[in-house]
Structures are given as C-alpha cells and as structure tokens.
Structure 1
Amino acid sequence: MTTPYIPPEFQEDITPDPPDRSQDIARSRAELAKRKMLSDRYEATLADYQKALRKRGLKASTRTYYARRVSAIRRALDAAEEGQAFAQRRVYETAGQWDKLLKGEHRNAYHALNAMFTQMGLGSLSGKIFQYIEEGYGADTIALLLQDTPEYKQRFAGNEARRKAGVAVLSPAEYLATESAYRQILSNAGLPKGFYDNPADFTNWIAGDVSPTEIKGRVDLAVAATTQANPAFKDALRRMYGVDQSHLVAYFLDRNRALPILQKQATAAEIGAAAIQRGFRPSIYAEAFATEGVTREQAQAGYAQLAETFQPMQAIARRFGLTWTQEEAERDVFEPGLAPGGTPFTAESVTEKRKRLASQERALFRGRQGASAGGLSQPYRQT
C-alpha cells in the first residue's frame, strides 16, 4: 500500500517541539555546583576556626581574633547558603520540577492539578499552577483561572468556534472523548500519525460538530479506495476527479468536502471503473447514474452488455448516416426512455432510436435477402 499523503492542513497544525532547555538546565546546575562548593569551603573554614577557638590557654587577643573570624565566616556561610538555595530553586524552575518547591497540601494540590491538565495536553501550564498555588489560590479557583490562559484556549480552540456558531460547547471531558474517538478510528484504519498526532488536527472537525460516525464513514471510503479497490477504480478517480493514488486518503478526509458528495463520487468512480474495465472511458453521466441509484453491480452488468452491442450499433448507425455515441448507449442501458440530452420524452429517446435503427437494419437485411432470392428464381433464358 502506498503511504498516504498527509495534506498541508494537517501538517501545518502540528505543534512544534518545545524549546530545548538542556543548556539552561546545565548552566543552572553548574551555578548550583559552584554555590555548593563555596558553602562547603566556608563550612570547612568555620570548623577550623571553631576548633581553634576551643583550645585552652589562648591569649585574650587571640581568642577575640578567632571569635571575630568565626562570626564573619558564619555570615559569609549564611550568604553562601542563601545563594545555594536560590541556585537550587533556579534548577527546579528551569527543569520544570515545580513540585520540589512545594510541601504538604500545596504539593498535593499541585500534583492533582498538573496531572489533570497534563492529561488534556496542557503540561505547559505546570508553571502557572505553581504560581497560583504560591499566590494562595485554591484548586477550584486555579482550574477556572487556567481556562483564561492562551494555552487553554488554543488547546480547546474548537469550542470557541462552536460558541461563535451557536453550537453547544463541549466540556473538557466531552472534548477529549471526541478527540479520542477520532484518533481511534484513524489509528485503526492504519493511517500515518501525521493525521492524528496532535490535538489541533481535530479542531475543525470539533468546531464543525462533525461526529465520529461521519469520520468513520470518511475513513471507510479512504480505506476502500486505497487498500480494497481495483486498479480501474483508482484510474477512474484519477481521470474523473484528478485524485492521485497517494492523495486518496487526504481526498476522502478533506474537511472541505461534504461526506454525501464524497460517497456519491466514490460510487461514480465505481461506475467509471466498470466502464474502463470494458474498454470505455468513464461516463460523463457517472454522478447522475450514482444519484439515481445505479450500483457497482448494475454498472458492471450494464457495461458488459454495452461491450457486446456498442460497436455493432455504431456500424448500423453509420450505414444510415447517423451516430451512436457512448453516452447514448449508456443512457439506453441505465436510463431507458430519456432523450439523448437527458430530458425525458421531449424528443426521440435513446431507446426508441436504438429500436428504430435495429428495425431499419432488419428491413434492409430482409430487402437484400428478397432481392437475392428473386434473382435466383428467374428462369434461365438462353441467348
């Protein structure tokens, strides 16, 4: 099977990868290591002076000196540890490890909210969740505040379009369930991930209130056209609608084409395939035949009949200075009673024309037979 073409409307929706923060994380960790080394150095120096201060027999001046040094180094150590704590926070922030900056109930609230929004595809809001928790907001309030963020609105962009169109907005759970149904249908059909690897791929479908059932219908058409169809069907689609084989899936999933139109075109292509298999070109009336209910089986039977009668009828028509076109022959088989232009009973119908030509041919044949028989019956006259 040819790998299905992924149309630009899907490709353009794919969200770019998040920026690479590895260099920022490496720098923040290097700064933390430097701060920790400084703190360790002050701790070691402080320990040395404290040990010296505990010695017996020190002069008062020496003791005073050591005491002052201990005090100064302790202040430096406090500053170094504060810098280390800041550097550690920076590492957590850069790496997105916000939970490590929280404790107790605040950490539990963060985990619950972050898990919920990550499931929605909004893990990027983890920093906002941390910010709101630090500002003292409760979980319910934070959930509402996050719905006003650009990230949330983009994630559920289909709802905004539904709201403007006067269609009921889906709850996050309903929205996610609809996406999941789309994704499952496309995945089960074996389509490449370019069709369903990003929530934005489904925005227009949700905005247009396209049901998973309709998507299933589109996918079934696409699968039938790519994996189950014979070469004549694909050739008919190419000749009738300009659809290349590699574009077949995209054609049937095109959001700008209504499903009933696609279904009619698929049936018309089946009629066109029946024509091609019998050496005819796809009919200009294929869609009209499809609309009137001509099935693939009927088309195959009809063109099998045409394959036997078309050339003999053309030869008969030429003998009488007339024509017998493929279009007339098709209408005779699929729409008996219609005039050549397709209007019923306003002129001689194609069926009447065929019968008249056949009658004239029989009369001509009988006349020739009679003439031949009469000539042979004349008595022999000697000269």
Structure 2
Amino acid sequence: MDVSRNVRMLLMLLSVLFLSMLSRLIFSPLLVFIQKDLSLTGQQAGSLFLVITAGYSPGMLCSGFVSARLRHRGTIVLSLLLVAAGTFVAALSSTYTHMLMGLWVLGAGTGMYPPSGIASITAAVSEEKAGKALAVHELGPAIAFVAAPLLVAALYSSLGWRMILGLVGLLNLGMAAFYHRYGIGGEGTGQPPHFSRIRAVVGKPELWYNFLLFCIALSSMQGLYSILPYYLITVKGLDSQGVNLLVGLSRTTGILTLLVSGYLVDRFGSRFVLMLAFSVGGISTLFLVWATGAVLDLFVVLQPALLSAFFPAGLLALSRIGSPESQNVTIALVINFAVLFGNGIVPSLLGWLADAGAIEIGFLSIGGAMLLMVLSLYRNRNYGAS
C-alpha cells in the first residue's frame, strides 16, 4: 500500500475515532444540564458513564465475531450506525431509564471500533512507522476532548442538550455512509475471542501489567474528564460556561503532545514516554484538589498535557504481546476491561463520593496511583521491548 493511500486511510480512521469519542465525551460537559433536566442525583449522573462502558465491554468482546464475518471495514461501519442510534435514543429520552438504554447502545457501538481500527492500521504500516501512525490515529480522541466542551459552550444556549446530541448522531450517520462508500483499508478479518486464544494471552504477565497501566491512564485521562466540569462547577464554584471553555482549551495541549509523541516513542521508547506522562499527570491531578484561583486553572491545563502520549506508547507495547493473529484479542481484552474501570467505574465512584461530600479523595487516589506507576516503570526496565 503506497504512502498517500496510507495517509488517506489514517485520516479516515482518525475521523471515525473522533466521532466515536465525541459521542461519549459530549456527556461530560452536558452532565450538569442533563442532571437538572432529568432530576438525577450525583451518583445517578456518574452512573451514566458506567452504562456507556457496560455497553462498550460486550461491544468490544463481540467485535472479533463481527469482523470475522464483516471484515474490519464492515465492523467500523456498523460501529458508527450503533453510535448514531444510541445517541438519538439518548437525545429523545424523558426518563433516567430511557437515557440508560440509549447510552448502552452507544457504548456497544464505540466498543466495536478499536480492535478493527488498530488492526487496520498495524496491517498497513511497517513496524518502524507504527508509533507515528498510532500517534496520528490518537489525534481523534485528543481533538474530541477539545471539541466536546467547546461545542457545548458554543451551542447549548441556542440548541439545548437534546439538539446537541441529535447533531452528534447525525454526524455519525453521515460518517457511516461516507466510510461505506469511500473507506480505505480494513480488508482483513478479525479473530473471535475463542478460549484458546484468550488463554494464550492471559497467561502472559506483560498483559496484566499493561492492563494496570491502561486502567490508571484511562482513570486519569477520561474518568476524571467525565466528572471534571461537574467538580469545578459544584465543588470549586466556577462558572459553567467558563469551565467548559477552560476544560476544552486545556485539551489542546494533548493535541500538541500527540504531534511529537510518535517521534518520542520511536526515539526513546514506550517506557520513557509513560514515565514522563504519568509524572506530570499525577502531580497535576493532586493539585486539582489543593490549588485555587489561577493556580487551579494552570493545573487543569497541565493535567492532560502529556497523558495523550500514553496511548500510542501503550498501544505499541500492547501490540507486541502474543502473535499478530491474536492481536485484536489482546487489544480487546485489555482496552475492554480498562475502559470499564477507568471510564465507567471511576466516574460512578466519583459521583458517589460527590454525594458524600468527599470527591477530593477520588482525585488524590488517582494522582497517587499514577506516581506509584512511575516508580514501577522505573524498575521495569524491559517494558515495551520488542
């Protein structure tokens, strides 16, 4: 496959991943408004993210069965259609139960994408360029982190939360039609997660180590993000529109990080990049509790600054576990349960702590866990080796 074709494929998959992430992340800046409209408690509001991941998990586990029949390309189209359907149901919901139904479908759709998307990329590019290619792909979530709060800040006053969700659903529907017609790559098939393949990878200690890293990274990058606007508004007393602008602008640092992270991974290795990302992210997470005023704003910006570099580094290390044929099973297992923990259980626990008036404990625990992993990576000198 020539270079220009690879570039077009990466841009398409970046766009798909952007919409997939935007559809999940948009609920973070909308959470305060949805909570008020549907009369939810803090724990119920936090549980919305748990339900998304409850759908995400079976969606990812089933992705191997789907891609074995539809190929990776067909699986990506189906993923977009499910995300659109779930978003429409959530937009039309009038009760907590109806909202949960839509979010479960949305989660199942977003869960189907990662194994097929990553497998499509690693099948098309050389090992030497894999770090850079995955870094480009991970620009999708980084841009979505910026776009979600800015979109809400710009459109909420004129459209409301339901119309914003409807707009996001239409974007997914349009992308499904576009990718079905013009999509590049993804011609390979996945492997269903048969017990023999699962047993082959779960017996490897490096899989469990990567799982722990992904749990902590996702807790900090996405779990905290889900509840951060709510925390800054209700606990720190900041203005809602100002919070969405601040959180959105803070995520631009992640885009800048990803532009150089591929080079850093290829030049210095995954271990160095992860130690650097976790050091800055861990210290900044602690100061989200301790700081106030302009200093708090500074650490809101610094907290995600280098965490975006985790994903190309972590995914590259993950892709080196087991045989190439079982790669989608390895990715599905680790990302699936790490997302369930970091994107689902952590926001739900933070919502429960918020109702108890102790949400700061959650922030301090995540920051401390990141710093402990820096020490662990320092001792684990073979991490990420080919």
Quick check: TM above 0.5?
no
TM-score of the aligned structures, taking structure 1 as reference length: 0.19
Higher-Rg member (1/2): 1
More helix by share: 2
